[in-house]
Every structure is written in structure tokens, then in C-alpha cells.
Structure 1
Amino acid sequence: MQFEVDNTYKDVTNIKVIGVGGGGGNAINRMVEQGIDGVQLIAVNTDKQALCFSKADTLQIGEKVTAGRGAGANPEIGKMAAEESRDQIEELLQDTQMVFITAGMGGGTGTGAAPIIADIAHSKDILTVGIVTKPFAFEGRHRMQQAEAGIAELAGHVDSLVIIPNERLKNVSTEKITLANGFKIANDVLVDGVRSISDLIVNSALINLDFADVTAVMKNAGHAHMGIGRAKGKDRGEQAVKAAITSPLLESTIDGATGVIICIKAPADVGLEEIDTAAGIVRAAAAENANIIFGVDLKEDDPDDEEMVVTVIATGFGDRQNIVSGDISSFFASDESPIMPMDDISSTSTPVDEPNKNFSDFIDIINGNR
């Protein structure tokens, strides 16, 4: 009897990325432009018009609550919209093993709906990772308070949470950074982080990650660090990993982490000593007995590309703070102005004069919330 061997690889890990609200939808569009294998990209919004510009799959939520016109920068409306569409969200998450939820915090839909979507995912035992941005300082105290309250609520419903403060975009380069390019830089953290994980799970690599590896580091892990570093030439391994563990865009470090994933994408001629150097730097920064999981993907189809890309995801900080100095929220969260829950913020909004209202409208448009 003759047997046939089926060598066709069948992906058994269903990974989704859900962008919530205008900022989340913009991040999803960036991911579509960049291209990521083996991942389903979905934009979720209350704003029907915004979804018309999505390059990915879409889900409109809260049609009865908002009539398709958005949440008006009110997180409570965003929350109600997600609750209204709970059945559709549950269907969207069916047969999913891992979900990334991304949103720009401080507005209405992203801030209010992201925690509800995360709660639904987490209740289904889906590995749930939140990646969110915090507003610029010039967007004002009220928006920052809404963002902080939304992040605090989201943190209770995700396995791991990565926070990107937009205010730190000015630290990324000494060159002038335009507003549009700044948002692309923030979105690229999400793109590169998701691609690093998905490529090593879904595709064949020299040293693969499996889903159990990722789960071991990211399940019920709390606040996380996700950094990307790139370098060419001499000492590229050292330079790339140092950029990844001390990213100027993030308000976190990997110091004392008990769980670390290192993803390296390198030319086929990468030296063993380069890999060893990169891994050694991470080991020195993490906790002594940290669980460090390693993946390597060689760029064998592009011999002219000499760049090494290192992604470092670190978790397991417990009650210890892994926050670097310069957290912009300190400008808004003093003892005199404590962070309020979202319900309180929504109900205590005060009227603003017309110039400030116009400026607020402008910020909403820039962030994709209108």
C-alpha cells in the first residue's frame, strides 16, 4: 500500500489585530500597507464614514446609540456602543487564539470600547494584548484624564498592555518630525511587534516561536515593554538590541523583567557572536531567573539587506515600576487633579469657549476620532 505525505503547512494559530476607534483604525491601515502574513486585520468603529476608508475588514458598533456618527469624544458612548454590539464582537472573536487590541486613548470610541472588547476576548480565554497610545500634552488635561482612566480600565481586561505616549515622539529623532510622520512612527511599533511575533509563529524560521512560548511570557503578565531596534554595519547586534530595550518612544524599560521574548531578523551571514552579544545584553537587564524565549528568522531571499532587526517584548514586572522618567501624565495627574474614572469624566465635562472647541475639533480630526 502506498502512502502520500501531505507537506502542506496548516496554520493552527488564529491571530487577529483589532483597531478600535479612529486611532486604532489608522494603525490597522498602516499594517495593511506594510503587509503582515497570517494575521486578520479588523477596524472597529462607531463612525460609519470612517469605516468607509478602512483598508481592512470592518465592524460598525453601536448603531442604535450613535446612529453611525461616532462617539463625540465621550468614552461612555463608546462603552455603550460596544455593549450594544456584544454579540457581533463575540462572533468576530470566534476561534481566535490571540488578539491584539489597539486604540488611541483619550477620545470616545477607542477609550470606551477597547476595554469591553478586551473583556469579551479575555472571557473566552483568548491571549489578549493591548497596545495603546496616550495623547500629546497640547491636547489638554481633560483628554489626558480620559486616556488614563481608559488605560486603567483596559489594564484589568488584557493579559499584557503596551503604552506608547505620543508626547515621547519628539525624543525619537533630532530631526524635525512632522505630525503625520510621528503617528506613523507610533504605528510602526505595533506593526513591527505584531509582525515579529506572527512571522515566527506562522512562518518557517531558523528558530521558531510557538504559541505556547508566547503565552508563557504574555499571559496574565500586566504592563509590558515592546521595543524595536534596527542597525547595520559593525556592532549591529549590540546597537539594535540596545535600541530595542531602551526605546525613546516608550515609557518603560526591561529592567527586572521575568519574561522576555527576543525576536531577531537578520541577514543569512549573521555571526554567532552577534546573536550571543544581543542575547547577553537582554539577559543582563532582565531578572536573574527570567524566562527568555528566543526566535531567529534569516533574510535568505535578500542577500543585499545587511540590517538586523531586534524586537524585545518584556513582561513580569509585578508591582515594581518599569517606567522611565519623563512620563507626560505627571503634568496632568498631580495630587490636586487625581485621575477620575471614565464615568465621572464623562459626566463632569464643562463647556468650553469657541476657540478651544475648534482646537478640540481639530485634534479629533487629526487623531481620526471625527
Structure 2
Amino acid sequence: MVVQSLPFVAEGGDARIKVIGVGGGGNNALNRMISAGLQGADLVFITAGMGGGTGTGAAPVVAKLSKDMGILTVAVVTYPFNFEGRRRGSQASDGIEALRANVDSVIVIPNDRLLDVAGEGTALQDAFGLADDVLRQGVQGISDIITVPGLINVDFADIKAIMSNSGTAMLGVGVASGKDRAEVAATSATAAPLIQRSIERATGIVYNITGGTDLTLQEVNRVSEVVTGLADPSCNIIFGAVVDPEYDGIINVTIIATGFSQSYDELLFGRPTRKATEAQPARSSPPPQQVVAASDANNQNNASPWGRANRSDRSYMGRSIL
């Protein structure tokens, strides 16, 4: 489903339903169209760039329709670059809070942190393309656990138990090859630029390990040791392990950490949202933890913060994912 489909999306996309030019809320006919498109789904992903009209205004509407139908609803959205201006950032924060109230889990990807990945001299078009790719990574990281049969399979009920009504979530992706690739990939995922806080505060963690035919049991175990060593002992953790020949020589680790009670502004900036600030006296809060991308490790161990395979949509064991 694509809301306010752009021409290139309409031509090249494979969405089941395309709604052109969504602008106003309260359109009953449009709501019925969207609801019809959601029928039969067990899991719905909502992706949007927050701060503009469609992402900020339409995404919460679609989310509420989905969640009201009893569907597990997960949002994966981007927060604007700082250079896009304070007004767009403020609109994005308000939109994320509205979205957060209408989804089971929301993963926010701050575009500015992509600068840590993109490096110097990255073209503007490439930077926004990278943001789109990260949205895909977030969706694929969750859906692969359910839809791709692997060495260790995860039931949809397990995913639902961790992600239902879990609030703000975070995404980390690590890819590595060469010596100690399992440890490097796991460490890169837990310290990735998109992880705004330590995963030790999460109440639920879902992670997926993808490797080639050379993936070993010891490497799966090493990834598990890294993740569980950082998580709270009471945290509910599930994981999947997939063998894909396209990943021969490399290991990809994707981590979704859920259950953070704070709003996105509190999580990223260490401050309450604008509405919360207006509702109560401001309180001092500690500065946000500084997260350093594992660039040195990446260079030394052939690690990369992003995966490379782009799978097609799948259904698994009768589950429908949109």
C-alpha cells in the first residue's frame, strides 16, 4: 500500500493498493479503501518520512485503522536531517508521537545519524537514497525472521508477544566478513549509528542472524553472547538464524530493541516532547549518551553497517505481511 504514490512508485512498485494524493483526514471513502486493503493481514508495516504533510498527517490515520482491526502494526519512519529546519523537525516530533499512540511499535531512524555512515562527499540524492534503504532494512529485518525458513525459526506469536504495544523501538544493523566476523557484526549492530541508547534498557529484543552456507554454530552462539551480554537479564529475547548463499563470506546481524517507555525526543535528545513540555514544568535531564559508530572496526574487519540482499515480499505459514 502506498499513500500519496509518486509517479515512479506507481510505475515500479508492487504495492497491492495505491492511493494517489491523500491530503485530508476524515475521508470516509478513503478510510474504507484503506481498511479493505488491510483485510486479512496479520502484520502491517507503515513507512514514512516524518515532517512533511503525508508522512506526518496520513501515517497515524493508516496506523489507527490497522491497529483498530487487531493487526500487529509496526511503523518504521525517518526523522528529518537537521538542515531541513526546526519547523520540519518539530512537525516530525509531533507526528511521531501521534503515530506512537496508534501503533504497536515505532522505529525512528534519524537521518542525521546516516551522516556517520555516508561519510564525506556523499551526494544529496545518495543520502536520501540511503535513508530509503534503511527503511527497507528495518522492515526486512523483522519480516525475514518470520518469512524466511532458517536454521532457527521464530513463530509469529513470538514476534507479536515482543512487539505488541511495545512503544518506541530502535534498529541496529551490522555486517562483517573476515576474522571474528560474528563478534564484529554483533558489536556493530548494537553500537550502530541508529541505536540511540544502550539496548540494556529494552524490555524486548528481536535479532536475526543471516549468513552463507559457511555460517557455523559457534558464530551463531558468539552473536548470541554479545547481544545477551548487553541486555537486561529480564529482557525477553528471541532470534532467528538464516542461511542464504548470497551471504557466503559475510554475516549480517539485525537487532530490533523494543519497550522503551520514552518518547522519541526523550530517547534521542534527552528532552520531553514539545507538548509534554507545555503540559508540565521543564525538568533537567541528563545529556544523551554519545554513540560512536564502529568505523575503525568496520575498516579493520571488513564490516559494514548495512546488509546487501534485497528480498522480495513473502508470506510464510499463512501469515500475510503488508
The TM-score with structure 2 as length reference comes to 0.77
Structure 1, residues 168-221: CA drift from partner, whole Å, max 9, x if none?
221114443222222232222222232233233223211111111111111110
Q: Does structure 2 retain, via aligned residues, the 8 Å contact 1:229–1:311?
A: yes
Distance of aligned partners of 1:210 and 1:334 in 2 relative to their CA distance in 1, 3 Å threshold: closer
Aligned mates of 1:314, 1:90 — CA distance in 2: 29
Q: Counterpart in 1 of 2:60?
A: 115
Q: Counterpart in 2 of 1:26?
A: none
**1:1-370 aligned within 5 A:** 42-45=1-4, 49=7, 52-57=10-15, 58-60=17-19, 68=21, 71=23, 77=24, 79-80=25-26, 85-299=30-244, 301-302=245-246, 305-319=248-262, 327=269
The alignment-based identity, stated in percent, is 40
Amino acid in the other structure paired with 2:19: Q
Q: Aligned with 1:100: secondary structure?
A: strand
Aligned mates of 2:274, 2:211 — CA distance in 1: 45
Aligned mates of 2:141, 2:10 — CA distance in 1: 29
Q: What count of residue pairs does the alignment treat as equivalent? A: 277
Aligned mates of 2:10, 2:63 — CA distance in 1: 24
Q: Does structure 2 retain, via aligned residues, the 8 Å contact 1:189–1:227?
A: no
The TM-score with structure 1 as length reference comes to 0.68
Amino acid in the other structure paired with 1:194: V
Amino acid in the other structure paired with 1:44: V
Distance of aligned partners of 1:139 and 1:319 in 2 relative to their CA distance in 1, 3 Å threshold: closer
Instruction: Report which stretch shifted further, 218-227 or 192-201.
Output: 192-201
Q: Counterpart in 1 of 2:287?
A: none
Pairwise CA distance, 1:253: 3.6
Report the structure number with the largest CA radius of gyration.
Answer: 1
Greater RCO (CA < 8 Å, at least 6 residues apart): 2
Q: Does structure 2 retain, via aligned residues, the 8 Å contact 1:259–1:291?
A: yes
Q: Does structure 2 retain, via aligned residues, the 8 Å contact 1:172–1:249?
A: no
Q: Does structure 1 retain, via aligned residues, the 8 Å contact 2:76–2:139?
A: no
Distance of aligned partners of 1:48 and 1:102 in 2 relative to their CA distance in 1, 3 Å threshold: closer
Segments of structure 1 that go 5 or more residues without pairing to the other structure are 1-41, 62-67, 72-76, 340-370
Q: Does structure 2 retain, via aligned residues, the 8 Å contact 1:196–1:263?
A: yes
Distance of aligned partners of 1:146 and 1:84 in 2 relative to their CA distance in 1, 3 Å threshold: farther
Segments of structure 2 that go 5 or more residues without pairing to the other structure are 280-322
Distance of aligned partners of 1:200 and 1:334 in 2 relative to their CA distance in 1, 3 Å threshold: closer
The alignment yields a C-alpha RMSD, in angstroms, of: 2.9
Amino acid in the other structure paired with 2:138: G
